[in-house]
Structure 1
């Protein structure tokens, strides 16, 4: 299987574009994709036909048709938004674009038309708290969660109505770590009712029991992402991913500049196994759709490192490429 790989470079006005052959990990650089503005987070629909980009320098969302053969993008349209968003995602129906706004302390929902265009105004513009860092729905598409880093130090819990796109506060509306961990991004275990948040300020990962009927969380473990002896004051965490088997979880350290590998026990608890050197200020990394390869980009280095993921979950570096300035997102789209 071959994939287009798009790297969003927040200090440039283009996406870096590569082709990844997942059978052997070979990566070929392609022509950059010009956007005319500095990009932030990306999201694609399930079919890989459309891409949605936050143009953070312009405070806009743009939607594009993807030529899945060549990887070229054709702009469908743009809409103005009140602030630059650090995170966008689609619900499971691909009918709604959800976004969080770090500075504005809000979240929004935009409708996606049949032609890929976004509603000019958000269906909802909901105040939460400052430093709203990400937003995603759960696997059932009935709930949504919004982690907030410090000082809010909370995860907001919502009910989500996929028939209307409406978010309503769940009960309780928030959960707050006992200490100022600063939850940032999250993943669900692929088979268990467990939710993991990576915590920017505490340099930790928190494991939560997830109630799939109520859509609520309860924390049962907080574990450091750092090796013994490294001062957490010199580090912040950024991204979190879990493999399809649910046996290996990864988190990125900015400061220690590493990828932490955790083993996942039968009860969903974590144990820290190893660290792998990576790019300077690794704001984002991701596993390719086959789960065989990992790509990590450095906001401070302007480069991307490629790793082979061993059966054990260990990482072996295989390649490295320059991208644009301050990369912060990776998106895979299957070549058809």
Structure 2
């Protein structure tokens, strides 16, 4: 920062952008964790659109959309990341598949991804710290009631339960949260007993867990609701459903965007694309949600992360910005406050926090 300037306290934030031929790719920012300001540090151009990112230790895994139709396009790419630097470590294009989300298990023996367009869940082994070729494909079957979005299976999100015993997939097309068991090699086997459905037409997009592992929260994109479940030993018990925006006050189309829960487990946030807002809920002791407030965002807020359990970073695809909002506990008039810091990025669609500096 120079001889006469105080060193900033920052955290790296990686942003994936659709953009155009000049702006598409990965951006690296430093987020000043004292005031919420963004400092642009690096830009890495890509030929394909990044759809999702996942970080496990020093590696970042990026799902790319197939932009050309070629078999070498799309898939899952693995990068070694040291602070601001990216280095390609491996890739699995799987014949040109487009993955919507990915996950890597704790011991980094397998990567898992979901193919929204072909209705598949895949397992990609990691050998000598590098992803190799797809070793398992599971085809989801079924449909639901929405005539445009639910004519077939559309797995959208994949992750593991907090006890590391199960892997789950949110299937927007079949209105299911599909639970998988794992064998010794990490292969997936569908757990029919614990797989569960949401209301027809809901379109489950993502599920997150409370830090204590006792409750889960399913964000439904089409119905714009959050379903709360009690979780124990692989089993989910429904306890509550709430709306993500005031449906009686806003008549235009809305699609739920993203969901995050605070590290302390006391607050949960959801973005609304159409209503263009963040909604804040307090998480009660029994896991249920109580509405607090809405804050306006830029247009089409599709992704967000919570940095240092204080700064909510929101990426708005149509607005072309990333914005920061501060979580302040103990305030009488709300919990989220605008930092008034934003940065223009062409169509930002995904975010992850980088390694600390």
Residue 125 (structure 2) aligns with: 111
Q: Is the contact made by 1:302 and 1:322 (CA closer than 8 Å) also made in structure 2?
A: yes
CA contact (8 A) 1:33 1:72 kept: no
What is the aligned partner in structure 1 of residue 59 from structure 2? 50
Matched residue pairs, number? Answer: 324
Question: What RMSD over aligned residues (CA atoms) do the two structures have, in Å?
Answer: 1.8
Return the offset for 1:315.
1.5
What's 1:73 paired with? 86
- Name stretches of at least 5 consecutive residues in structure 1 with no aligned partner: none
Does residue 124 (structure 1) correspond to residue 149 (structure 2)? The answer is no
Match of 2:273 in 1: 254
Instruction: Confirm or deny: 8 A CA contact 2:52 2:350 kept in the other structure.
Output: yes
| 1:209 CA drift (Å) | 1.4
**Which moves more between the two structures, 13-22 or 227-236?**
227-236
Asked if structure 2 preserves the Cα contact closer than 8 Å seen for 1:5 and 1:331, the reply is yes
| Cα drift, residue 250 of structure 1 | 0.6
How far the C-alpha of 1:228 sits from its partner, in A, is 5.0
Choose from 156, 159, 162 the match for 1:133: 156
Residue 182 of structure 1 is matched in structure 2 by: 203
8 A Cα contact 2:155 2:172, kept in partner? yes
Mapped partners of 1:62, 1:177: distance in 2: 32
Q: What is the CA distance between 1:311 and its match in structure 2?
A: 1.2
Structure 1 residue aligned with 2:148:
none
- Secondary structure at the aligned position of 1:61 is classed as strand
Deviations 1:24-68 (A, max 9, x none): 4332112312233322211111x2x11111121322221111122
Distance in 2, Cα, partners of 1:141 & 1:93: 11
CA positional deviation for 1:273: 1.5
Listed one character per residue, the Cα deviations across residues 110-161 of structure 1 (whole Å, up to 9, x for unaligned) are: 112233x2112x22111114111100011121101111124x1111111134
2:172 aligns to what? 149
User: Which residue of 54, 57, 63 maps to 2:78?
Assistant: 63
Cα distance between partner residues in 2 of 1:171 and 1:79: 29
Query: Do residues 244 (structure 1) and 263 (structure 2) align?
Result: yes
Question: Quick one: which of 349, 354, 357 aligns to 1:328?
Answer: 349
**The residue matched to 2:156 in structure 1 has which SS?**
coil
Tell me the distance in 1 between the aligned counterparts of 2:46 and 2:199. 42
- Work out the CA distance in 1 between the residues paired with 2:122 and 2:300: 28
Deviations 1:202-240 (A, max 9, x none): 10000011122xx12222211101125234761111211
Match of 2:147 in 1: none
- 1:5 Cα shift? 1.0
Question: For the pair shown, which has the larger CA radius of gyration, 1 or 2?
Answer: 2
CA deviation digits over 1:251-289, x for unaligned, max 9?
Answer: 11111011111111111011121111112111101101x
Residues of 2 paired with 1:232 and 1:218: CA distance?
32
Which stretch has the larger CA shift, 100-109 or 9-18? 9-18
Query: What's the offset of the Cα at 1:192?
Result: 4.5
Gap change, CA 1:191 and 1:232, over 3 Å in 2 = farther
Q: Which residue of 1 aligns with 2:6?
A: none
Specify whether residues 17 and 317 from structure 1 end up closer, same or farther in structure 2 by C-alpha distance, changes over 3 A only: same
Cα deviation 1:177-215 (Å, max 9, x = unaligned): 234211110100111411101100110000011122xx1
Query: For the residues of structure 2 that align with 1:240 and 1:92, how far apart are their CA atoms?
Result: 22
| Alpha-carbon contact 1:199-1:238 (below 8 Å) kept | no
TM-score by length of 2: 0.86
